[in-house]
């Protein structure tokens, strides 16, 4: 009997007596002779159509794999060849990444006999251990991603395989295809269902023996797809990197269908176009993505590769009232402001308590940022990066504005009553937003942002005021406004109390505020991938007075003809 991917906490199995009983029943059924009959059918001997992969591979990752090491985030597992399938894994995320086979793109980028041989050895080992049902490895979303990866890298996997290994692999692929066709349509609505359906369409297109199911699979996808996207094109996770990866799958699928002479359909074309427009709005001047809700910069060119593959991308609405993000741009300056509610629970695995945070960049230089994601860095980092204090926004009494579940990947709840709107102003662009994340303490937080037409002046006002008619539980509550700086930016205090920020491109920006306490402190940045990087944050702090507070601040670009501050 194949063994499950082992974790120290056994967290890959559902918790609770009912979940364990259901899992056991599924294990027994799908490993029985009855399931063998259900999964029988014609065996493919080749992949008739190899889907394209829009996401580039990493040579560094390829070298690590060829040396027997898999790295996802900062989690690392080393094992010789196929032994990787028998060793304990550090987290569910690691197991998902490993069993999805998406790492094949790295071996493809490397190329050559060594990469092909390594891919074949790893596939043979997986088939030997997991070729029959396993409750995690055959989870429909993981299975769907794996089948797509196998189809995309068919040559890499099989060009050096002998007849016996090839036959075993194709039997396993055929069984997984039929299992996916049975399970995917019955899944609950959510991101896992979408991954499974995308996988189902891909394999129906790639294998002649499954081609008869393609119209049915496309209908399932067309029915499901609009549920995952806001009207303005944003993915419901509100995570820019998740959005880009889903768009990569959809845009690749759209191109594959056209190449095979199959009409993609209006729903796929419409959603792909709107998602492309939204992705453009979430980019800074360096081409990378803003770091919100578990996202990273993705400075490997992810957005460029995806957008290049999308034809006729629609322009997303100028206001982000559906997904909750507002883009303010003037000349070289870009401000991206999060004024949205938390994602629905099924999409909130990576969501963060960063409501009313913003990021600021000038040209290719990032200045004010959020701290990034702790996913793949262990529970302590994951918890820290999801907290409000890891974002460029205000906190009261050092509390988060939303509640995050205790477990890894726990759901984010709140903040409630989030609103945002653009304000008509002269000489620039302005947005005002508020949330009730501190309503249990009797406070509301409102933030106003104004960006001048020339992009040289960003002004902000944070207002703490009583929530409702009752008075807050405490007249004096400590507050802090944080501006986390990108590691490429450095802050120093000038004699007059102003903060001078030097960017990676040599620009200067000043920060002025009416706050009485202004400090430069250490912080950590996990937005660029790899290990945490040391950086700085500017912290304004004080106490509410008479149950309220108003904190004004302004970032201004330093010009050559400006007098010295």
Q: Is 2 inside a domain boundary?
A: no
Domain extent, residue 103, equals 44-186
- Longest pairwise C-alpha distance within the chain: 83
Q: Is 390 inside a domain boundary?
A: yes
Q: Is 388 inside a domain boundary?
A: yes
Question: Where is the domain boundary, 131, 165, 186?
Answer: 186
Percent of the chain with pLDDT over 70: 90
- pLDDT over 80 (residue 13): no
- pLDDT over 80 (residue 19): no
Confidence category of residue 560, pLDDT binned at 50, 70, 90: confident
Which two three-digit tokens encode residue 253? Answer: 């699928």
Q: How many residues comprise the chain?
A: 565
Question: Where is the domain boundary, 169, 186, 203?
Answer: 186
- Write the CATH number for 550: 2.70.98.70
- pLDDT over 70 (residue 40): yes
Q: Is 255 inside a domain boundary?
A: no
- pLDDT over 50 (residue 4): no
Q: Is 534 inside a domain boundary?
A: yes
- pLDDT over 90 (residue 552): yes
Counting the structural domains of the chain, the total is 2
Determine the average pLDDT of the residues in 127-135.
93
pLDDT in tens, 418-451: 999 999 999 999 999 999 999 999 999 999 999 9
Sign of CA dihedral 214, 218, 224, 229: positive
- pLDDT over 70 (residue 14): no
pLDDT of residue 452: 98
Q: Is 344 inside a domain boundary?
A: yes
pLDDT of residue 120: 96
The three-class DSSP label of residue 320 is coil
pLDDT of residue 11: 44
Determine the average pLDDT of the residues in 17-24.
67
pTM score of the predicted model = 0.92
Q: Is 484 inside a domain boundary?
A: yes
Greater model confidence, 312 or 228: 228
Confidence category of residue 45, pLDDT binned at 50, 70, 90: confident
Confidence category of residue 311, pLDDT binned at 50, 70, 90: low
Determine the average pLDDT of the residues in 127-146.
95
Determine the average pLDDT of the residues in 54-67.
95
**Whole-number mean pLDDT of the chain?**
91
CA dihedral of 499, 500, 503, 507, whole degrees rounded to 10: 140
In this structure, the number of other CB atoms found within 10 A of the CB of residue 530 comes to: 12
Question: Where is the domain boundary, 152, 169, 186?
Answer: 186
pLDDT of residue 251: 95
Q: Is 66 inside a domain boundary?
A: yes
pLDDT in tens, 139-170: 999 999 999 999 999 999 998 888 899 999 99
pLDDT of residue 409: 55
pLDDT in tens, 461-471: 999 999 876 66
Determine the average pLDDT of the residues in 480-499.
97
- pLDDT over 60 (residue 416): yes
Determine the average pLDDT of the residues in 125-136.
94
Residues 197 and 184 sit within 8 Å (Cβ to Cβ) = yes
DSSP state of 262: -
Alpha helices (runs of H) in 419-549, residue ranges in sequence order:
none
Nearest to 352 by CA among 313, 379, 391: 391
Residues 210 and 177 sit within 8 Å (Cβ to Cβ) = yes
Determine the average pLDDT of the residues in 375-384.
90
pLDDT of residue 18: 64
Nearest to 401 by CA among 453, 467, 321, 336: 467
For the chain, what is the total number of helices (H) and then of strands (E)? 15, 20
Percent of the chain with pLDDT over 90: 78
């Amino acid at each position: 009997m194949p063994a499950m991917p082992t974790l120290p906490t056994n967290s890959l199995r559902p918790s609770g007596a009912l979940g364990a009983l259901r899992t056991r029943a599924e294990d027994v059924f799908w490993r029985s002779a009855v399931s063998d009959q259900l999964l029988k059918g014609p065996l493919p001997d080749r992949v008739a159509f190899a889907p394209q992969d829009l996401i580039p591979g990493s040579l560094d990752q390829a070298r690590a794999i060829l040396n027997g090491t898999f790295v996802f985030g900062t989690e690392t597992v080393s094992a010789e060849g196929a032994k990787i399938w028998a060793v304990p894994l550090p987290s569910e995320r690691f197991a998902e990444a490993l069993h999805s086979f998406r790492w094949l793109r790295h071996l493809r980028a490397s190329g050559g006999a060594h990469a092909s041989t390594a891919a074949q050895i790893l596939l043979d080992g997986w088939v030997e251990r997991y070729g029959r049902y396993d409750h995690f490895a055959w989870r429909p979303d993981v299975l769907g991603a794996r089948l797509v990866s196998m189809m995309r890298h068919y040559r890499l996997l099989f060009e050096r395989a002998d007849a016996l290994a090839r036959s075993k692999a194709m039997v396993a692929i055929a069984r997984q295809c039929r299992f996916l066709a049975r399970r995917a349509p019955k899944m609950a609505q959510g991101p896992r269902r979408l991954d499974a359906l995308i996988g189902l369409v891909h394999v129906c297109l790639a294998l002649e023996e499954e081609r008869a199911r393609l119209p049915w699979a496309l209908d399932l996808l067309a029915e499901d797809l609009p549920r995952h996207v806001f009207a303005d094109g944003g993915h419901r996770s509100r995570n820019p990197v998740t959005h880009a990866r889903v768009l990569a799958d959809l845009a690749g699928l759209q191109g594959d269908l056209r190449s095979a002479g199959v009409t993609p359909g209006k729903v796929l074309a419409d959603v792909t176009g709107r998602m492309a427009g939204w992705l453009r709005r979430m980019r800074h001047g360096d081409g990378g993505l803003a770091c919100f809700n578990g996202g990273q910069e993705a400075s490997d060119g992810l957005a460029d590769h995806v957008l290049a593959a999308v034809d006729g991308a629609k322009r997303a609405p100028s206001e982000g009232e559906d997904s909750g993000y507002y883009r303010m741009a003037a000349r070289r300056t870009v401000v991206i402001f999060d004024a949205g509610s938390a994602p629905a629970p099924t999409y909130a695995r990576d969501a963060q308590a960063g409501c009313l945070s913003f990021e600021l960049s000038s040209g290719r230089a990032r200045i004010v940022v959020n701290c990034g994601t702790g996913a793949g860095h262990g529970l302590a980092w994951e918890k820290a990066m999801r907290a409000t204090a890891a974002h460029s926004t205000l906190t009261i009494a050092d509390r988060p504005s939303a509640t995050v579940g205790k477990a890894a990947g726990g759901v984010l709840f709140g903040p409630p009553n989030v609103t945002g709107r653009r304000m008509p102003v002269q000489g620039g662009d302005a947005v005002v937003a508020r949330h009730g994340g501190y309503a249990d303490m009797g406070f509301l937080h409102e933030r106003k942002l104004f960006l001048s037409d020339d992009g040289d002046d960003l002004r902000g006002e944070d207002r703490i005021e009583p929530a409702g008619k009752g008075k807050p539980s405490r007249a004096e509550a400590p507050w802090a406004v944080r501006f986390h700086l990108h590691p490429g930016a450095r802050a120093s205090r000038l004699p007059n109390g102003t903060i001078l920020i030097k960017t990676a491109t040599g620009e200067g920006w000043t920060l002025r505020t009416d706050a009485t306490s202004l400090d430069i402190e250490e912080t950590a940045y996990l937005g660029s991938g790899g290990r945490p990087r040391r950086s700085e944050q500017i912290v304004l702090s004080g106490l509410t007075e008479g149950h309220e507070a108003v904190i004004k601040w302004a970032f201004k670009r330093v010009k050559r003809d400006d007098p010295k501050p």
